[in-house]
Amino acid sequence: MLVFWKARLVLLAVPKTGTTALEEALLPHADSAILNPPQQKHCTVKRYRAQLQKFFEQRGQRRLELMAVVREPVGWLSSWYRYRARDAISGTENSTQGLGFDAFVEAWLEDDPPPFAKVGRQSRFVADEDGSLGIDHLFSHAKLDLAVAFLEDRVGAQLDLGRTNVSPAQDTPLSPAVLDRLHTEAPEEFALWDHVQSLGR
137-170 tens-digit pLDDT: 999 999 999 999 999 999 998 988 766 556 666 7
> What pLDDT, on the 0 to 100 scale, is given for residue 62?
84
DSSP assignment, residue 60?
Answer: T
pLDDT of residue 146: 94
According to the model, what pLDDT value does residue 168 have? 63
Domain positions in the chain are: 2-198
pLDDT at position 163, please? 60
pLDDT at position 36 is 85
Phi, psi for residue 113 in degrees, rounded to 5: -65, 150
Q: Half-sphere exposure of residue 27, counting CA atoms within 13 Å on the CB side?
A: 12
* pTM for this prediction: 0.91
pLDDT score, position 162: 66
> How far is the C-alpha of 111 from the C-alpha of 56, rounded, in Å?
35
Sign of CA dihedral 100, 110, 123, 198: positive
Spell out, as residue ranges, where the chain has pLDDT lower than 50: none
* pLDDT for the residue numbered 124: 97
